[in-house]
Amino acid sequence: MTKLAFLGLGVMGFPMAGHLAAAGHEVTVYNRTASKAQDWVARHGGAAAKTPKEAATGAEMVFSCVGNDDDLRSVILGEEGAFAGMSQGSILIDNTTASAEVARELAEIGKQKGIAVIDAPVSGGQAGAENGALTVMCGGEADTFARAQPVIDAFARAVTLMGPSGAGQLTKMVNQICIAGLLQGLSEGMNFGLKAGLDMQKVIDVIGKGAAQSWQMDNRAATMCEGKFDFGFAVDWMRKDLGICLAEAENNGARLPVTALVDQFYAQVQARGGNRWDTSSLMQLLAKD
């Protein structure tokens, strides 16, 4: 049993922290909107703290899962941030999807305080978080990872050390780049099939067993054809992630022509009020044209 803190009880953090408690750890939670922390304690036990600092005080490991780079800085750095409460030898495990730059920045500041940091973004969506079946991509030191992995296992199907600080975030960027282009292709295919008058359930059943198969096809193609876009990972989050990918590509010289285009398509979805629609809503742009 390890004394843990969890900061950020959103769609992802709430169930992830729940799995840590169910694994027998002593968990203190912090959430900006305090009522969510109270709900979590009512369901899982443990304790709620008023600030990240208070939650992190005395914890061997602190998890965070907030929105973007700035949100992360605000819960970790500063007078009431987690670092102010964490002691030497403790570990910060950050599950936010953020930039590699902020991962390295936190690792550097942590090092000066004797706090080890692992960037550990996740893939698998809300269902993966609820089922404790996330894929976790980590960046950091090998000995820190060895201590953290058995704890992270509580909400994961796979936990892998990818390299030094920032490598987890860079791996998540690859994940998002792969998904963006694929979703546009899937949207065009489904829209084409509908316009051609095909029975799309039959089409999905047939081509889903061939080379066009993908997680997105298995899980989203049918609902895309029904014009339903309420299945998890939101367009606003995707735009945040693609922005991170495009900025990183400026640093490393990688060309991302399709990713840049899909990012602009998502901007159009936002302009149509689809900020909280799921990422398969690229289909909407084609269907309504």
**Segment interacting with ligand NAP (CB under 6 A) among 25-33, 145-153, 188-196, 255-263:** 25-33
Nearer to ligand NAP, 32 or 147 (CB): 32
Nearer to ligand NAP, 43 or 202 (CB): 43
Minimum distance from CB of 72 to ligand NAP (Å)?
A: 8
Please report the beta strands in 151-214, taking only residues with DSSP state E, as ranges in sequence order: 156-163
Nearer to ligand NAP, 203 or 244 (CB): 244
| 19 makes contact with ligand NAP (CB under 6 A) | no
CA distance linking residue 12 with residue 289, whole number of Å: 34
Which member of 3, 11, 109, 216 binds ligand NAP (CB under 6 A)? 11
Question: What's the DSSP call for residue 199?
Answer: -
| 96 makes contact with ligand NAP (CB under 6 A) | yes
Residue 36 is a catalytic residue? no
Residue 114: what are its φ and ψ, rounded to 5°?
75, 20
**Segment interacting with ligand NAP (CB under 6 A) among 118-126, 153-161, 222-230, 254-262:** 118-126
CA distance linking residue 212 with residue 275, whole number of Å: 28
Q: Which listed residue (3, 36, 113, 172) is catalytic?
A: 172
> Which residue is nearest to ligand NAP, using beta carbons?
10
Which member of 5, 86, 116, 122 binds ligand NAP (CB under 6 A)? 122
Minimum distance from CB of 236 to ligand NAP (Å)?
A: 9
Nearest to 138 by CA among 182, 91, 177, 185: 91
| 67 makes contact with ligand NAP (CB under 6 A) | yes
Nearer to ligand NAP, 60 or 94 (CB): 94
Residue whose pair of structure tokens reads 């546009």 in the numeric block: 184
Minimum distance from CB of 169 to ligand NAP (Å)?
A: 10
Pairing of strands 134-139, 122-123: antiparallel
Contacts of 203 (CB under 8 A, 6+ apart): 193
| 75 makes contact with ligand NAP (CB under 6 A) | yes
Site residues for ligand NAP, 194-253, by CB under 6 A, read: 232-233, 237
Minimum distance from CB of 97 to ligand NAP (Å)?
A: 4
Please report the beta strands in the chain, taking only residues with DSSP state E, as ranges in sequence order: 3-7, 26-30, 47-48, 61-64, 91-94, 116-119, 122-123, 134-139, 156-163
Contacts of 138 (CB under 8 A, 6+ apart): 118, 119, 120, 145, 148, 149, 152, 159, 160, 161, 162, 167, 168
Residue 220 CA, distance from chain mean position:
18
**Segment interacting with ligand NAP (CB under 6 A) among 3-11, 156-164, 196-204, 219-227:** 3-11
Pairing of strands 134-139, 156-163: parallel
Minimum distance from CB of 138 to ligand NAP (Å)?
A: 14
- Binding positions for ligand NAP, rule: CB under 6 A: 8-13, 31-33, 36, 65-67, 71, 74-75, 96-97, 122-123, 125-126, 232-233, 237
Q: Which residues are catalytic?
A: 172
